[in-house]
Amino acid sequence: MPTDLPDAPKVAVLIPCYHEEAAITKVVTDFRAALPMATIYVYDNNSRDRTVELARLAGARVYSETLQGKGHVVRRMFSDIEADVYVLVDGDDTYEAKSAPEMIEKLLAERLDMLNGTRITEIAAAYRRGHQLGNTMLSGLVRRIFGSRIKDMLSGYRIFSRRFVKSFPALSSGFEIETELTIHALELSMPLGEVDTPYKDRPEGSTSKLRTYSDGLRILRTIMLLVKDERPLIFFASAGLVLFLLGFGLSVPIFIEFHETHLVPRFPTAILSLGLVLMSFLSLVCGLVLDSVARGRKENKRMTYLSIAIWQG
């Protein structure tokens, strides 16, 4: 265990909520029992049920964020709350509060900036097949591009250090926030960890806010945008390769016909082919230029991250 840890790290449990009256009392109660030294914060996102009332009765500090979407709520929580350790968990009672002390201990002992809770369950209803497939595909895509250090990219149960939270830009608005959290950590080469944690079905009366297809497409779009911003050479070189192959494919019949007849009867196709090939090289040049810009941005983000004290002082 590091010797420079504070005697009693200030722990904040952050619970974003939207229509969770069926689960929020148990979530707050369980985390108060598991982490008696922690302060429990519930940020409500325009719920029209009794979520706010029940969370307050259970002993949580309750605040609100009017911009709709989990990403907006996480950004507000990260901005408002000062702590040494941050526990981010969904308010639907699908994650085990009993795992939190072990996760915090691992974060502190190994001086990690993010510890991800990998969901383990045998309950089919808790982790629907469509969600499993989408998570596997999207997590695999991120691992292939940004590095294979996180298995369950879309987990809603994470522990963060102070310097992670205060250096995180939080640009997403919805459920794609988990993707942004993961890629932020991977791109800055932060010390990361993962632990298995039980995942269970929602209580009766609680319904998932995740829309499998539309939110899956938004997450995929976020990955593509982050690839463009963080790895522009890969993004624009890939686009250039597609343009080059398309242009080259269109030119093959023209070259064959020219070889046989010494004529170019399909002149518009030849112009189109040449234009696509030129665009492919332009795309590659854009990727090279923007890669240098992205490197400078990454250096600035890294310096900002390192400038933040890991403990409050």
How far is residue 152's CA from residue 140's CA, in Å, rounded to a whole number? 9
- Whether residues 265 and 200 share a domain: the answer is no
Domain range holding 287?
A: 232-306
Whether residue 249 is found in the same domain as residue 214: no
Asked if residue 236 is part of any domain, the answer here is: yes
Please report the pLDDT score of residue 277 as a whole number. 95
Nearest in space to 225 (alpha carbons), one of 145, 123, 126, 299: 145
- My answer on whether 216 and 238 are in the same domain is no
pLDDT in the model for residue 212:
65
Last residue of a domain, one of 188, 205, 230: 230
- Structurally, the chain folds into a number of domains equal to 2
CA angle centred on 158, ends 207 and 52, rounded to 5°: 45
Residues 167 and 263 in one domain: no
H-helix or E-strand containing 66?
Answer: none
Tell whether 139 and 283 lie within a shared domain: no
**Local structure of residue 189 (DSSP, 8 states):** T
* Amino acid 283: pLDDT: 96
Question: Domain boundary at 230, 260, 287, which?
Answer: 230
Query: How many other CB atoms sit within 10 Å of the CB of residue 43?
Result: 25
Q: What's the order of all strands across the beta sheet hosting 158-161?
A: 61-64, 39-44, 11-17, 85-88, 158-161, 114-120, 192-198
Q: Does 1 fall in a domain?
A: no
Of 190, 211, 230, the domain-final residue: 230
Same-domain status, 216 and 290: no
Instruction: Indicate which CATH number applies to the domain containing 94.
Output: 3.90.550.10
* 81 & 176 share domain: yes
Tell me, yes or no, whether 4 lies in a domain.
no
Domain check: are 207 and 283 in the same one?
A: no
Instruction: Output the pLDDT for position 282.
Output: 96
- Total-model pTM: 0.83
| pLDDT value of position 3 | 55
pLDDT at 5: 62
> What pLDDT was estimated at residue 225?
86
User: Per-10-residue mean pLDDT for the chain, 313 residues long?
Assistant: 68 95 95 96 94 95 94 95 96 93 94 93 56 72 83 91 93 86 92 92 71 75 87 94 95 86 84 94 95 91 88 70
